[in-house]
């Protein structure tokens, strides 16, 4: 993260349901953490007055789409109203604070792909509804109070730091467990949902870019490619030496081992023909978002931003990390992609 030239830059990064305020003092190279909670506006107000940040990156939310169907009220409180509490805290603080809102491609819901800044939202979950509310409040504060506030409509952003219950990480960790012999199968939900998966560190660069412009605006951020969960599984496993063959339909779909790399043929627990992927209805959602694909023309034209890591590279980066984590030497192509930049596998 680059900081302002003033010498003492203050950034407020908010992740998870709790918020973490990070002050970065460039002179002393110190990082200071403060604790807060999006459901507690008096605490937010106090912290803003105390820290007086230059920029706020608001990434906090109850961010799991499936979970939002179980706790819709809480999701609305934190994800929707939490954003308003922060916007109000900024407005009342009297400080000039630039604000970044983590809007989500989930807001597009059923809208036909590719989706751009002009696509009309058709949210399909309590999470997506909450994000639409927050998105429009950011626009209202920008138009009504002149706040420098940007919505970054991010498509799925992945990395080895991704939470373990989100689909990409669940798959790469599942592969690692199967190869290490600690897990027999991977139970999945809807294999046919398509997502635009990109590499999170590149998207963080875009968040920062948005706040460095003369005027605040909204941008779609994605890779421009769309792939199914099924494809993610196939690529993940084949990179590590397992070719998957799909058998059956619907809830009876199974991913069986079709062939193994010469090295894996020596394994005592991996056998051609055995099912390692199965379906569990538990992971399906009451409403699904079938296909997301970003149209990033505006980001390209106005901010000259374009992601370098595509689907293939992303899978390799994540697989290498999770194999290393269980003590397996990874193929290494993902480690090479990251060398000297973005992310270290060590």
Give catalytic status of residue 104 as yes or no: yes
* Other Cβ atoms closer than 10 A to 300: 12
Q: How far is the CB of 163 from ligand GDD (least distance, A)?
A: 8
Q: Of the listed 57, 100, 127, 141, which one is catalytic?
A: 127
What is the smallest separation between the CB atom of 63 and ligand GDD, expressed in angstroms?
Answer: 4
Tell me the two tokens of residue 74: 């809480």
Distance CA 236, CA 230 (A): 10
Which residues contribute to the site for ligand GDD (CB under 6 A)?
63, 65-66, 104-106, 154-156, 165-167, 170, 188-190, 193, 195, 229, 283, 285, 288
Please tell me which residue in 63, 103, 104, 105 is annotated as part of the active site. 104
Q: For ligand GDD, which is the closer residue by CB, 195 or 316?
A: 195
Q: Among residues 99 and 155, whose Cβ is nearest to ligand GDD? A: 155
333 catalytic, yes or no? no
DSSP 163: -
Q: Please list the residues that pair with 60 across neighbouring strands.
A: 16
In whole angstroms, how close is the CB of 107 to ligand GDD at the nearest point?
Answer: 8
CA dist list (Å): 207 to 55, 275, 304, 325 = 11, 42, 13, 29
**Residue-by-residue DSSP string for 37-81:** ETT-HHHHHHHHHHH--SEEEEEES---HHHHHHSHHHHIIIIII
Least Å distance between CB 195 and ligand GDD?
A: 5
Q: Which is nearer to ligand GDD, 165 or 274 (CB)?
A: 165
116 a catalytic residue: no
Q: Pull the structure tokens for residue 125.
A: 């979950």
Q: How many CA atoms lie within 13 A of 254 on its CB side?
A: 11
Of the two residues 89 and 279, which places its CB atom closer to ligand GDD in the complex? 279
**Positions marked active-site:** 104, 106, 127
């Amino acid at each position: 993260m680059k900081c302002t030239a003033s010498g003492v830059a203050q950034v407020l990064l908010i992740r998870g349901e709790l918020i973490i305020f990070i002050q970065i003092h460039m002179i002393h190279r110190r990082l200071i953490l403060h604790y807060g909670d999006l459901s507690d506006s008096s605490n937010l107000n106090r912290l803003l007055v105390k820290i007086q940040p230059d920029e706020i990156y608001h990434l906090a939310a109850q961010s799991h789409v499936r979970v939002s169907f179980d706790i819709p009220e809480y999701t609305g409180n934190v994800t929707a109203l939490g954003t308003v509490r922060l916007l109000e805290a900024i407005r009342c603080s009297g400080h000039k604070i630039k604000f970044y809102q983590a809007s989500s491609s989930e807001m597009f819901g059923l809208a036909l792909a590719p989706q751009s800044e002009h696509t009309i939202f058709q949210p399909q979950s309590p999470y997506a509804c909450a994000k639409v509310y927050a998105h429009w409040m950011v626009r209202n504060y920008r138009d009504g109070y002149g706040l420098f506030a940007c919505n970054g409509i991010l498509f799925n952003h992945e990395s080895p730091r991704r939470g373990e219950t989100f689909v990409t990480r669940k798959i790469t960790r599942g592969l690692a467990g199967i190869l290490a012999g600690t897990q027999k199968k991977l139970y999945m939900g809807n294999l046919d949902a398509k997502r635009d998966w990109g590499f999170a560190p590149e998207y963080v660069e875009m968040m920062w870019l948005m706040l460095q412009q003369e005027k605040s605006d909204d941008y779609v951020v994605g890779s421009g490619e769309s792939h199914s969960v099924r494809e993610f599984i196939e690529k993940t496993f084949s990179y590590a030496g397992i070719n998957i063959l799909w058998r059956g339909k619907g809830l009876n779909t199974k991913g069986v081992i079709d062939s193994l790399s010469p090295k894996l043929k020596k394994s005592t627990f991996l056998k051609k023909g055995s099912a390692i992927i199965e379906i569990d209805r538990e992971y399906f959602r009451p409403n699904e978002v079938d296909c997301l694909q970003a149209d990033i023309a505006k980001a390209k034209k106005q901010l000259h931003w374009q992601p370098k890591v595509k689907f293939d590279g992303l899978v390799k980066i994540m697989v290498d990390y999770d194999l290393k984590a269980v003590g397996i030497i990874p193929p290494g192509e993902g480690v090479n992609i990251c060398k000297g930049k973005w992310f270290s596998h060590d």
